[in-house]
């Protein structure tokens, strides 16, 4: 990994990061700013951009990007190109994303469309807009996926489907762009300590409210277990700076990896999924979920 520490005053290159209002995107923006990079931090709301700028150096520039709005994407790419000057553009980090959950049986097409629009079509549109700049500088592309892009879990069908698709798209891009000297890496975090868990807890309530009577009868117990799983993951999550360090490696290492698993839970899930037959893995996952569901609220579980 690159050496840690504050910037030595030398601007190391420019990076665009989407979804920088909170969570991994915000931490990555601030971390790379401290490390001396020229950071263009993509946010949807001006207030979020102002708050981010106040926490950073003058090198960080908030950038209005809504990954579902092509106008903001094109304008952002133009602004970055005009602002670079002599600073080399080293990479694009596609981090913006949302999570939609619930039983697939009762999933509406509009919910699936919203999930794919942000997590799959968004990175595609942003990457295409920045490709001329990436080509000229032989910059890199880093797509932030999830362990959910490698291992699908119950009641996260839309989210996992979007991340599986993002990984497939990334694999194709990596092969297609290799002849041009452009690297594409995928980052697959497990549980990361961000406000994501507050949003996830709220989404459980939304799922329960949206389910019809049959859905509540079939799945209410499982969805309540999701609430306990979210609380357990929140307690065991690793700091977001871990992901930021991995992203810096993907942007700057001489030989960046094609995939980066972040967190013990992500590595464990990936290893078990690779080692076990599908039905054996399903049984192990069901056993663990039952254990969490039967535990008293607040009880600490280990993987």
List of domains in the chain? 14-194+238-271 (3.40.50.720)
Q: Considering 37, 159, 219, 260, which one is annotated as catalytic?
A: 159
pLDDT at 10 (0 to 100): 63
pLDDT at 74 (0 to 100): 98
Phi-psi group of 155: left, alpha or beta (phi > 0 → left; psi -120 to 50 → alpha; rest → beta) = left
pLDDT mean across residues, the chain: 91
Beta bridge partners of 142: 93, 185
- Range with the poorest average pLDDT among 105-114, 120-129, 202-211: 202-211
pLDDT at 2 (0 to 100): 44
- Range with the poorest average pLDDT among 24-28, 279-283, 290-294: 290-294
Contact 25, 18 (CB under 8 A): yes
Read off the pTM.
0.91
Residue 103 scores a pLDDT above 80 = yes
pLDDT at 229 (0 to 100): 84
Q: How confident is the model at residue 228 (pLDDT cuts 50, 70, 90)?
A: confident
Task: Tell me whether residue 217 is exposed, middle or buried, using C-beta atoms within 10 angstroms of its C-beta: 0 to 12, 13 to 18, 19 or more.
Answer: exposed
pLDDT at 168 (0 to 100): 98
Mean pLDDT of the region 275-303: 77
31 catalytic residue (yes or no): no
Q: How confident is the model at residue 200 (pLDDT cuts 50, 70, 90)?
A: confident
Closest CA to 292 of 236, 212, 211, 217: 236
**What digits encode the pLDDT tens for the residues 237-278?**
899 999 999 999 999 999 999 999 999 999 999 999 999 999
Closest CA to 67 of 31, 13, 114: 114
Q: How confident is the model at residue 301 (pLDDT cuts 50, 70, 90)?
A: very low
pLDDT at 44 (0 to 100): 95
Contact 115, 174 (CB under 8 A): no
Residue 5 scores a pLDDT above 50 = no
pLDDT at 265 (0 to 100): 94
pLDDT at 224 (0 to 100): 87
Q: Percentage of residues in the chain with pLDDT exceeding 90? A: 78
Neighbouring residues of 156: CB distance < 8 A, sequence distance ≥ 6: 99, 101, 148
């Amino acid at each position: 990994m690159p050496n840690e520490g504050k910037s030595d005053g030398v601007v190391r290159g420019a990076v665009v990061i989407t979804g920088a209002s909170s969570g991994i995107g915000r931490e990555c923006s601030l971390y790379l700013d401290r490390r001396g990079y020229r950071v263009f931090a993509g946010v949807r709301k001006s207030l979020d951009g102002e708050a981010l700028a106040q926490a950073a150096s003058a090198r960080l520039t908030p950038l209005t990007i809504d990954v579902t709005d092509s106008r903001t994407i094109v304008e952002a790419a133009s602004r970055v190109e005009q602002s670079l000057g002599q600073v080399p553009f080293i990479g694009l980090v596609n981090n913006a994303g949302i999570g939609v959950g619930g039983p697939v049986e009762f999933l509406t097409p509009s919910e699936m469309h919203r999930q794919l629009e942000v997590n799959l079509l968004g990175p595609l549109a942003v990457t295409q807009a920045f490709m001329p700049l990436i080509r000229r500088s032989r910059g890199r592309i880093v797509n932030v996926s999830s362990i959910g892009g490698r291992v699908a879990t119950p009641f996260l069908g839309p989210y996992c489907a979007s991340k599986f698709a993002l990984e497939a798209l990334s694999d194709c891009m990596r092969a297609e762009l290799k002849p041009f000297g452009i690297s594409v890496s995928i980052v697959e975090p497990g549980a990361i300590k961000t406000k994501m868990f507050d949003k996830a807890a709220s989404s459980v309530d939304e799922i329960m409210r949206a389910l019809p009577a049959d859905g509540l009868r079939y799945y209410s117990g499982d969805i309540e277990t999701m609430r306990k799983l979210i609380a357990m993951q929140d307690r065991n999550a690793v700091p977001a700076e871990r992901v930021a360090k991995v992203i810096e490696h993907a942007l700057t290492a001489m030989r960046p990896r094609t995939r980066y698993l972040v967190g013990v839970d992500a590595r464990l899930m990936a290893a078990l999924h690779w080692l076990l037959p599908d039905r054996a893995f399903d049984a192990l996952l069901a056993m663990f979920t039952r254990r969490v569901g039967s535990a008293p609220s607040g009880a600490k579980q280990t993987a």
